[in-house]
A and B are shown apart, each in its own frame.
Chain A
Amino acid sequence: MAHPLSTPRSLLQTEGTVAATPAPPPALQVGGLTVAYGEKPVVFSVDMSVAQGTMTAIVGPNGAGKSTLLKAVLGLVKPLSGEVRLFGLPLSRARDRVAYVPQRASVDWDFPARVIDVVLMGLHRELGLLRRVRPAHLDRARACLARVGMEDFATRQIGQLSGGQQQRVFLARALAQSADLYLLDEPFAGVDAATEKAIIAVLKDLRAEGRTIVAVHHDLSTIRAYFEHMFLINMRAIAAGPVAEVFTAANLQRAYGGRLGEAQVAGMQAGDATP
């Protein structure tokens, strides 16, 4: 589903120009979300709003609750309190519009499946329990593989791929879902430079088609280049908004505490940080 506004835009622009039609509901809205593992809260009273057609990085130190926030949004962990709305709807009615790319390390890649089998999992809603896999399904799965540059690997066993290739297969599976909102958990973790380039190109394409991207991201040096919005979290929401406004030394210091040196922050802000 292509969004009518396919060019990059900011929230401010839409407010003035589309007064006639009601503004589309946010792709993702989180209110007062608290998640705890055992006694210890991991995400505490977080509010978050992501406008449709934007690209947002969820950023914070290790153990800040980034992945947990994503999982709570997807119903994979049960929050203690709080509300999640996707396109103005509860999760149960918006599942078809959401695709999730889990951390690569969360599955056993020794599973007996070929690359194409994994991508076909993204078509589960159409295939259902017993419908036959038709050439049209295979063509679509192959097209998704081609988009991430993996069309030559369709019949490989997934365990024979490099980490970056596995990550691309996961992205291809999400593409097969043709969702409107893509939630990615550390899509660039431990991947090679070529893969990182390929993935960000696909994400930017998706955004250009009007789809919404939210990714847990840990590499501060690439935020400016990759994302337009960021959501800074360390158990509590620290700051949210356009990268240009949120990516400040003060905010990073609040999120990372002493773990980030002043010099580092200054370097990354200048945009010339080396990986």
Chain B
Amino acid sequence: MGAEFVALSLTPLLIGVLAAVTCALPGNFLLLRRQALIGDAISHVVLPGIVVAFLLTGRVAALPMMLGAAGAALVSVVLIEAVRRTARIEAGAAMGVIFTTLFAAGVLLLEQSDTSGVHLDVEHALYGNLESLIWLDATGWASLLDPVALSGLPPELPRMAVALLIVALSIAVMWRPLAIATFDEGFAATLGLPVRAIGLALVMLAALAAVAAFDAVGSIIVIAMFICPPAAARMMTDRLLAQAAWSVGFAILSAVLGYVLAGYGPLWLGFANSVSAAGMIATVSGLILGVTMMIGPCRRRAGGATVH
């Protein structure tokens, strides 16, 4: 499976893994802060951002689209805060209101604008195009050392790698204040920690992860990876650092297993066509969560079974 695997499967697999891990890392903190839905919100509002960027520039290019998506993510975060504060709508509902509204606006925009000639549609937004991120220049494992072939790598791969690097480094540096502010914001503030800025930084990292991953793999994976691996990881351990490690492991497992099952699973079952890798990766992450909910050593909410 050498040459064919490297050319057709290696890069989508790697991009899937990178996207999954990039989303799962901030997901740990979002989950503990009861903000997990913000990943959902961001990945939906990315659509109008991309459409607006396309309308402004008239072409499908990575940079303006990323900027449009990032801008939309920023706008949505601000709007969510605004709705929550001015109208006293609780955070989850505020997110729901904003992301459905903006996503719907994006769909309308898309319908009204002439995007028929370009690869820009709602399906793409949901499922991405993981399978198409192939590396045609590769002729085998040796291509990994061939500069000419390497220059033909899909640009999503280095982009996703950079996003992961930024997210992982930021979280590593912010780890302690982030943990303290997540557990006990009032106490964190009395230590002089900038709790508002910490919360905003986390949401920005989530936005970065969502926008970078959305471009490569679509919003289904983004939403699933923000929530499922960290939630499954929580069932496996009672320590934050270990939870983050487990979540990375589950994210990788989801991406690899999901990709393989999407490509070969239907064949094994006797069907002719493979299924969407993004959909399968998200499904696998949900199944992992289901399994850990049943057998994870720390699955019970503390206090449920112990003396109080």
Which residues of A from 102 to 144 have beta carbons under 8 Å from B? 102, 106-114, 117-118, 121, 124-125, 127-130
Residues of chain A within 8 A of B155, CB atoms compared: none
Is A109's CB under 8 angstroms from B239's CB?
no
Are A121 and B173 also in contact (CB < 8 A) when A95-B192, A113-B240 are?
no
The residues of B that contact A118 with a CB separation of less than 8 Å are: 183
**CB–CB B239/A117 < 8 A:** yes
Contacts of B174 in A (CB 8 A): 129
In the complex the two chains form, what is the Cα distance from A158 to B303 in whole Å?
10
The reply to whether A130 and B190 form a contact with Cβ atoms under 8 Å apart is: no
A271 at the interface (CB under 8 A from B): no
Q: Contacting chain B: which of A25-33, A43-51, A159-167?
A: A159-167
**Contacts of B155-177 to chain A: CB distance below 8 A:** 173-177
Whether a CB of chain A sits under 8 angstroms from the CB of B180 is yes
- Interface residues in B170-219 (C-beta closer than 8 Å to A): 173-177, 179-180, 182-184, 186-187, 189-193
**Is A202 interfacial (CB-CB < 8 Å)?**
no
Q: How large is the interface on A (under 10, 10 to 19, 20 to 34, 35 or more residues)?
A: 35 or more
In the bound complex, how far is the Cα of B306 from the Cα of A238, in angstroms?
A: 43
In the complex, the answer to whether A124 meets B190 with C-beta atoms within 8 Å is: no
Q: Say yes or no for B146: interface residue by CB 8 A criterion.
A: no
Q: How far is the CA of A110 from the CA of B190 in the complex (A)?
A: 22
Chain B residues, Cβ within 8 Å of A113: 179, 183, 238-240
Contact B184 A107 (CB under 8 A): yes
Q: Interface of chain A, helix or strand or loop or mixed?
A: mixed
Say yes or no for A236: interface residue by CB 8 A criterion. Answer: no
What chain B residues lie within 8 Å of A147 (beta carbons)?
none
CB distance from A236 to the nearest CB of B (A): 25
Does B238 lie within 8 Å of A157, measured CB to CB?
yes
Partner of B190, one of A74, A107, A112, A157: A74
Whether A130 touches B173, Cβ cut-off 8 Å, given contacts A160-B302, A160-B306, is yes
A265 to B303, CA, bound (A): 38
B192 & A112 in contact (Cβ 8 Å cutoff) = no
A114 to B183: give the CA distance in the assembly, Å: 12
Contact of A112 (CB < 8 Å), options: B173, B180, B187, B237: B237
Q: What is the 8 Å Cβ interface bit string for chain B, positions 1-15, against chain A (1 contact, 0 not)?
A: 000000000000000
Q: Nearest chain A CB to B283's CB is how many angstroms away?
A: 26
Chain B nearest Cβ from A49, distance in angstroms: 21
Residues of chain B within 8 A of A95, CB atoms compared: 190-192
Contacts of B243 in A (CB 8 A): 112
CA–CA, A75 to B183, complex, Å? Answer: 18
Q: List B contacts of A71 (CB < 8 A).
A: 186
Q: Is A232 an interface residue (CB 8 A)?
A: no
In the complex, what distance in Å separates the CA atom of A98 from the CA atom of B243? 32
Residues of B within 8 A of A129 (CB): 173-177
The answer, among A74, A106, A110, for a CB contact under 8 Å with B184, is A106
The CB with the most chain B CB atoms within 10 A, among A76, A95, A113, A173, is that of A113
B293 interface contact, C-beta 8 A: no
C-alpha gap A121/B176 in the complex (Å): 8
**Are A111 and B301 closer than 8 Å at their CB atoms?**
no
Interchain CA distance A270-B45 in the complex, whole Å:
66
> What are 10 A-to-B residue pairs whose CB atoms are below 8 Å?
A76-B189, A102-B184, A113-B183, A121-B183, A121-B184, A129-B175, A129-B177, A159-B301, A160-B303, A162-B307
Which 7 A-B pairs have CB atoms at the shortest separation, nearest pair first? Answer: A159-B302, A157-B238, A100-B190, A107-B184, A111-B183, A112-B240, A95-B192
